[in-house]
Structure 1
Amino acid sequence: MALDLFARVALFPLLAGQAIWTRKKALNLPEPDGPRRARVGQGPVLRILIAGDSSAAGVGVATQDQALSGQLAGALSREYQVHWHLIAKTGATTQDTLHRLARQDPAPGPFDIAIVALGVNDVTKLVPLRRWLARQAALVDLLETRFGARLIYLSGLPPVRYFPLLPQPLRWVLGRRAERFDVHIRRLASADIRTRYIPLSFEMDAALMAPDGFHPGPDVYAKWAEIVAGHIRADWPPDQT
């Protein structure tokens, strides 16, 4: 902790310059085409809300079929009739998402499950860890009370240290910060019976990422969806739904 703080202070002018350069260099990929809500599959009905940032929105692929929403619905469609709804926005922080969901019509809820993908923008925008955790807790409350979510999956932070867009030492500093956030969101989820933690600790091969070097490609979204689907099957057996 002390070493990380010292490094950030000592390297601040360089890090600030790299951050500005990275924002100018980065490809501005669009959110993918396709519906933001759909019904697919046969079996017991499972209503899923997906909320978050550009990764939840599917930036890095061409269509929602290739994104988390479509891949997850496809993975679950053999056991469930999946009704899914996506509320996500590129650049969103946890605070942005709280405001967006508070204004959102809760229909077509109530939802059985909510899946949250947030944190990278809080890391890069230097939101203090304690404030971020408080907002995550508030988001869990909102998803339960306003949207009726009975079980909430909190995705961990991705391995930012592998993101090829980021130059060193900015990649190392943000990677360390993301790892710290990930440890604490895991603790928050383990302390609340309404929530589950979804690790994103699989190796982020640069060849599997989107052309911008920052977002997942279709194979990474498929891996993420399969991890989430496995947790849902374990927590929500189709023969008991």
Structure 2
Amino acid sequence: MHAPFWLTTALLFPVLLYQGKRTRRVTPRLPEATGDCAGQYGEGEPVFRLLVLGESTAAGVGVENHAQGLASQLALQLHQRTGLCIGWSTFGVNGIRLGALLDALGSADLPPADAVLLSMGVNDTTGFTPRFRFRRQLIQLRETLATRYQAPITLLSVPPMDKFSALPAPLRQVMGWRARQLDRVYQVLAARKPEDFRYLGYPTVSDPALLARDGYHPSDKGYRAIAQALAEQDWGLLLP
């Protein structure tokens, strides 16, 4: 139990409710990115294929074209670091929670991939998805994808919502607190089931220059900064 969190939330509920409604009303709602949801960097057949699944970051909210988004930019960074041909694809829905993503994947025509990166958690944070349900849905996701993708699912940590400039205090602090709780679910799962999950820390995007005009999602510079940090991790690629 996280009694201090729920007690704080209950005491602040009228303020949080007002701030949440006002934030939704005044924050610009940016569209999902357009353009091809897949591509590659390098000539010939890709030797490594990356698939990004998730919510608004996978949907490219904050940039105009998917080529500027997380999957494409991470593939570009890996290509530049290794010289290898890297393929990328992305499947994301703005505003979706993990349970709804599971439903959407049931009818999705997903491409082959050597690595699956999951970018989720913001909407489950704001929607107060119970931690036990979040964990169960992650396990269901792994079971759903296991026959198609053998490698562990890479869990990109839940964004640090206490850094989101679009959120006022104390809403920002409470959402950051809740995001850390869901992120802990990621960390524990990855530690206990390394054959199914691995965890990657989320690079903090707090510089206004790295945020889109809504102060909530990454800009093109933000996605590029996140991709640069993630490309430094071990993706099982060997230099030619």
- TM over 0.5: same fold? yes
State the match for 2:121 in structure 1: 119
Deviations 1:120-152 (A, max 9, x none): 10000111111011111211222222x324232
Instruction: Report if aligned partners of 2:72, 2:89 keep a CA contact under 8 Å in 1.
Output: no
Identity rate of aligned residues, in percent?
34
| Aligned-partner residue type, residue 197 of structure 2 | T
| Aligned-partner residue type, residue 185 of structure 1 | Y
Shift of 1:207: 3.6
Instruction: Report if aligned partners of 2:116, 2:154 keep a CA contact under 8 Å in 1.
Output: yes
State the match for 2:143 in structure 1: 141
Q: Paired residue for 1:64, among 63, 66, 69?
A: 66
State the match for 1:90 in structure 2: 94
State the match for 1:23 in structure 2: 24
Instruction: Report if aligned partners of 1:198, 1:227 keep a CA contact under 8 Å in 2.
Output: no
| Aligned-partner residue type, residue 95 of structure 1 | G
Instruction: Report if aligned partners of 2:160, 2:176 keep a CA contact under 8 Å in 1.
Output: yes
| Aligned-partner residue type, residue 49 of structure 1 | L
Q: Paired residue for 1:75, among 71, 74, 77?
A: 77
| Aligned-partner residue type, residue 236 of structure 2 | W
TM-score, normalised on structure 2? Answer: 0.91
> What is the correspondence of 1:178-189 to structure 2 with a 5 Å cutoff?
178-189=179-190
Deviations 1:33-69 (A, max 9, x none): 2210112225861122110000111211222222102
Instruction: Report if aligned partners of 1:114, 1:143 keep a CA contact under 8 Å in 2.
Output: no
State the match for 2:167 in structure 1: 166
Paired residues, what number?
Answer: 235
Instruction: Summarize the Cα distance change of 1:228–1:57 in structure 2 as closer, same or farther, 3 Å threshold.
Output: same
Q: Distance in 1 between matches of 2:9 and 2:213?
A: 28
Question: SS at the partner of 1:158?
Answer: coil
Deviations 1:77-122 (A, max 9, x none): 233222222111101111111111111124x32x211010011100
Q: Distance in 2 between matches of 1:203 and 1:39?
A: 26
Moved over 6 A (4+): none
Instruction: Report if aligned partners of 1:163, 1:206 keep a CA contact under 8 Å in 2.
Output: no
Task: Verify: 1:129 aligned to 2:144, yes or no.
Answer: no
Instruction: Summarize the Cα distance change of 1:71–1:29 in structure 2 as closer, same or farther, 3 Å threshold.
Output: same
Tell me, which stretches of 5 or more residues in structure 2 are unaligned?
none
Q: Distance in 1 between matches of 2:216 and 2:235?
A: 31
TM-score, normalised on structure 1? Answer: 0.90
User: What is the root-mean-square deviation in Å for CA atoms of aligned residues?
Assistant: 1.8
> What is the correspondence of 1:37-48 to structure 2 with a 5 Å cutoff?
37-42=38-43, 45-48=47-50
Instruction: Report if aligned partners of 2:203, 2:229 keep a CA contact under 8 Å in 1.
Output: no
Tell me, which stretches of 5 or more residues in structure 1 are unaligned?
none
| Aligned-partner residue type, residue 175 of structure 1 | G
Instruction: Summarize the Cα distance change of 1:159–1:105 in structure 2 as closer, same or farther, 3 Å threshold.
Output: same
